Amino acid sequence: MVSSIPVIRIRDTLLSAIQGDLSDRVAEAFQGDLLSRLERTGASGVLLDISALDIVDTYVARVLVETAQMARLMGAHTVLVGMRPEVAATLITMGQVLTGIDTALNVDDGLALLALPRR
């Protein structure tokens, strides 16, 4: 399955920069793509870079959390990186705290977090 969101492998980590509109179809294709890559590569970490997203609505938030949960079931640790301040403020206002998904400021920090021994 091929999605319009590229998944890049860096050593033991899969990196995806999410941008543009995340439609139902794109989201599903992306999840499928990511999970099959996890299966093939046995990667232990996933970085979801959302620094290009101006808006994260409840739908996108749910997709992100679910993606992290799916990856965890397959044994990978997901870190969400690069959220913009205004996006964070809006999510909190909506009562959406993205429970259960780790966060980091940028890809660098995300990689550092993934390199730590698993909690």
Partner 1 sequence: MRSESQPDYMRRLKLDADELANRRRFFGITQEDLERLGALRPVAERHMTSIIAGFYDLLLEHPRTREFLGDPQLVNRLQRAQQSYFLGLFDGRCDLAYVEDRLRVGHVHERVGLPLKWYLGAYNRYLQLSAAALRKELPLAEAQLAEASLQRLVFFDLALAVDTYVAAQIETVARHRAAVDELSTPVIRVFDRVLLLPLVGTIDSARAQGIMETVLKRVSDQEAKVMIIDIAGVAVVDTQVADHLLRATAAVRLLGASTILTGISPQVARTVVELGVDISAMHTRSRLADGIELALSLLGRKITAAAS
Size of the site for partner 1 (CB under 8 A): 21
Query: Distance of CA 117 to CAs 20, 89, 109, 114, Å?
Result: 33, 30, 14, 8
Query: Which range, of 10-18, 28-36, 38-46, 100-108, touches partner 1 by CB under 8 A?
Result: 100-108
Whole-number Å distance between alpha carbons of 56 and 97: 12
Instruction: Answer yes or no whether residue 89 interacts with partner 1 by CB under 8 A.
Output: yes
Q: How far is the CB of 4 from partner 1 (least distance, A)?
A: 25
Whole-number Å distance between alpha carbons of 41 and 38: 5
One of 35, 47, 104, 111 touching partner 1 (CB under 8 A): 104
Full DSSP string of 57-85: -HHHHHHHHHHHHHHHHTT-EEEEE---H
Instruction: Answer yes or no whether residue 57 interacts with partner 1 by CB under 8 A.
Output: no
- If the CB atoms of residues 72 and 84 are measured against partner 1, the closer one turns out to be 84
Find tokens 């660098």 and name the residue. Answer: 108
Find tokens 């439609």 and name the residue. Answer: 23
Query: Which range, of 1-9, 23-31, 40-48, 99-107, touches partner 1 by CB under 8 A?
Result: 99-107
One of 17, 98, 111, 114 touching partner 1 (CB under 8 A): 98
Binding site for partner 1 (CB under 8 A): 79-89, 91-92, 97-98, 103-106, 109-110
